[in-house]
Structure 1
Amino acid sequence: YANATIDDHSHSSILTLTNHTSFSIGRAFYPSKIPTKSSFSSNPLPFSTSFIFSIAPFKHLLPGHGFVFLFSPFEGANGVSSAQHLGLFNLTNNGNPKNYVFGIEFDVFKNQEFNDINDNHVGLDVNSLTSLTSQDDIWVSGKHDEKFKELKLNNGENYQVWIEYSDSRVNVAMAIAGKRRPNRPLISELVNLSDVFLDEMFVGFCGATEQLIESHKILAWSFSNSNFSIGDGLVTTNLPSFGFVLGISFGIFIFVIGSAAMVFVVLLKRKRSKRMEEEGDIEDWELEYWPHRISYEDIYAATKAFSEQNIIEFGGMLKDVAMGVLYLHES
């Protein structure tokens, strides 16, 4: 639905939720509803799902926003919006208890209106993008899974996720694709889904961008109401990589120009320090961390008079946020 596509890639099919355009929305679901409540009671059925995803930036573009694995009472893209709403809700229905939506979000933008903990987190959502709980250190490591390690969600790496629900507890685990499943979950939370799940629901994925653009791809997916080891059957080797070429190119480029760049930075800092000392009224800490003082005129010019095309965040509890390019000229 919307901008989502199924792409053939080396004899395999890859779900691409968002494309290279701004304010893109993609939603994709299993073609038919699945039972989510027992026919003998109102208790939600257990489930186990695992998938492999990749979030990759586009060259010369700032990345954002994220995607969600979700249960929804309807298909299609009606009633949802792009940007910070991730193709899951919109400004008016976010937080409505009659949404009947459960999701696990993978978010790379910090929205204060949703109390996001940072710009790189996994969150558990029930009818709202204000997560019930979230985690930013998103990989359990160590011999006995004794510590969390931060992973960058949108670096183009392929990650495998395991999500399980049983006895009112949601467990979410995550690792680099091909690595073993951690014994210790990233998120483990008691959640009563009796009032969220209907008898049958659609299950799938949604994602969105705004002027911050990145690709959101699902490389493999499994789901079951009974087999909690179904994720072990996903193929995790020889998968396409969506961040490798860009990373190698930049690595070579940085290696070649590294020495020249270091010399340039040293000279530039010396020139800046000398100029700021001559201007006076500069505190010592500012000499090292220049610049901290930018005139309104410079900001106005950098954002092209706060033009609409430069707005990267809209409304909510915040004012609009504009993106601009500031050109520094050395005298």
Structure 2
Amino acid sequence: MLTNSDPQRSGRAFSRRSFGYITSFSTTFVFLIIPPDSKDGVSAHGLAFALSSTVGFVFDAHPGPYLGLTNMKSRGNGTNQLFAVELDTIKNPQFSYIDENHVGIDVNSMVSINSHTAGYYASNGMFSPLKLASGQPMQVWVDYDGTSHNLSVSLAPYLEHKPQRPLLSSTVNLTSVLANNSFYVGFSSSTGLLKSRHYIIGWSFNTTGKAQPLNYTSLSQVIEDVRPKPQTRSHIPRAIIVLVVTISTVIVLLICAVLYALRKKARNNFEWEIEVGPPSFTYKELVSATKGFSDAMLLGEGGFGKVYKGMLQTSKQNVATKRVSPESRQGMKEFISEIMILGHLRHRNLVQLLGYSRHRNELLLVYDYMPNGSLDRFLHGQDRQDLDWVYRFNIIKGIASGLFYLH
């Protein structure tokens, strides 16, 4: 078992000793994902087969969508020296996932270089989808040719033959990815708000030829032991069952009534951070950058709060910090939307959102600082200037370009 039913947890199983220089390898494994409710197949977040030049990443990796492999700051960093085949059961727009049930090939990041809806190609060439979090065992094959750098991934139901046509095929130079001339191999998984269980039932790995066949007789017994047992019909008198259920229901309702008010606020405040990632800046950093939110650094004030100029002490970068006050008309929903949407926008005519921070009831958004200020200063303010038609037309084109990008 990689992860049990605890929420927001990661679980890993890696080789104790590293392998030498990466050449070719062949591996196959049988896995099982049991969702909280095996009837609807909703699960979080998934598991991954991974190769890494180090196992030190476990100290900084996050659960949830990061599958216990990376975190918000390290994603996409070449120093990760990480390769993974992910089996993901959540659609996360942060990583441009195609759906909530897919297989992906990851290199130094949770943004897959290639992905496909989970399933397999039958002998007649037709694609048959599979539900990863169905509570049913499945088998994966991963083959890598160190000469051609061709990597193929196949998936099939348990006890089915390996499909002739792979689900995914990509060219990946693992020699450049795993640059330390050695690597560790294993598995990682994580849960989110949903409490799922992830199992690796059996595994075979070979660097000198085809992976050895698995012992399906032994694996079937393991699968039988870990899968939820069907409920047997009770012989307890119905009157006793009704009494026990009634008493239990009353107790549960009393407990829920006491805990509801306390937990509701905490749940609303923190659940969303799991989706957008941890804060990009500490409150202390922004206080220092804005000289304690001094009036001398104030750029402007609106219905959503005040905006301050600041300089980050580490990078010496000028930034604009919007301090959303508790009395602001901008609530938590708008705050989250601004992070989710603007955090992914990249356009020369749009102000870049650099990150955010939270402190008690305060919400802070950090943007690129625009030294020239806003357009209305040049058109109507004290800095009003006579702008010729060519200059104004270029401004209009820039605005139109930004609006076109947004739509």
TM-score, normalisation: structure 2: 0.55
Output one character per residue of 1:11-64: Cα deviation in whole Å (capped at 9) or x when no partner: xxxxx11122111111111110011x2xxxxxx400001111000012499620
Is 1:205 aligned with 2:195?
Answer: no
Question: Alignment partner of 1:207: what SS?
Answer: strand
Equivalent in 99, 102, 112 of residue 121 of structure 1: 102
**TM-aligned CA distance change 1:312 to 1:52, over 3 Å:** farther
**TM-aligned CA distance change 1:310 to 1:189, over 3 Å:** closer
Equivalent in 186, 193, 197 of residue 215 of structure 1: 197
1:194 Cα offset (Å): 2.1
Q: Supply the AA of the counterpart residue of 2:14.
A: F
Where relative contact order (Cα < 8 A, 6+ residues apart) is larger, the structure is 1
In the aligned structure 2, how far is the partner of 1:57 from the partner of 1:233?
Answer: 26
* Counterpart for residue 7 of structure 2: 22
* Counterpart for residue 315 of structure 1: 276
- Percent identity, aligned pairs only, is 31
Query: After the TM superposition, which residues 242-253 of structure 1 pair with which residues of structure 2 at under 5 Å, given as runs?
Result: 242-243=226-227, 245=229
In the alignment, structure 1 segments of 5+ residues that lack a partner are: 1-15, 38-43, 253-300, 320-331
* Counterpart for residue 260 of structure 1: none
For the pair shown, which has the larger CA radius of gyration, 1 or 2? 2
Structure 1 or 2: larger helix share?
2
1:229 Cα offset (Å): 4.4
Q: Supply the AA of the counterpart residue of 1:105.
A: E
In the alignment, structure 2 segments of 5+ residues that lack a partner are: 234-260, 278-338, 342-407
* Counterpart for residue 71 of structure 1: 51
* Counterpart for residue 240 of structure 1: 223
Is 1:100 aligned with 2:85?
Answer: no
In the aligned structure 2, how far is the partner of 1:31 from the partner of 1:188?
Answer: 29
In the aligned structure 2, how far is the partner of 1:59 from the partner of 1:118?
Answer: 20
Number of aligned residues: 244
In the aligned structure 2, how far is the partner of 1:193 from the partner of 1:30?
Answer: 18
**TM-aligned CA distance change 1:308 to 1:125, over 3 Å:** same
* Counterpart for residue 138 of structure 1: 119
In the aligned structure 1, how far is the partner of 2:120 from the partner of 2:3?
Answer: 25
CA contact 1:155–1:243 (8 Å) conserved in 2: no
* Counterpart for residue 352 of structure 2: none
In the aligned structure 1, how far is the partner of 2:156 from the partner of 2:184?
Answer: 26
1:307 Cα offset (Å): 2.0
Is 1:85 aligned with 2:107?
Answer: no
**TM-aligned CA distance change 1:34 to 1:192, over 3 Å:** same
Q: Supply the AA of the counterpart residue of 1:212.
A: L
Is 1:49 aligned with 2:27?
Answer: yes
CA contact 2:203–2:214 (8 Å) conserved in 1: no
**TM-aligned CA distance change 1:313 to 1:238, over 3 Å:** same
1:162 Cα offset (Å): 0.6
* Counterpart for residue 175 of structure 2: 194
In the aligned structure 1, how far is the partner of 2:198 from the partner of 2:192?
Answer: 13
TM-score, normalisation: structure 1: 0.67
Output one character per residue of 1:116-139: Cα deviation in whole Å (capped at 9) or x when no partner: 000000000000000000010422
Output one character per residue of 1:58-77: Cα deviation in whole Å (capped at 9) or x when no partner: 24996200111001122252
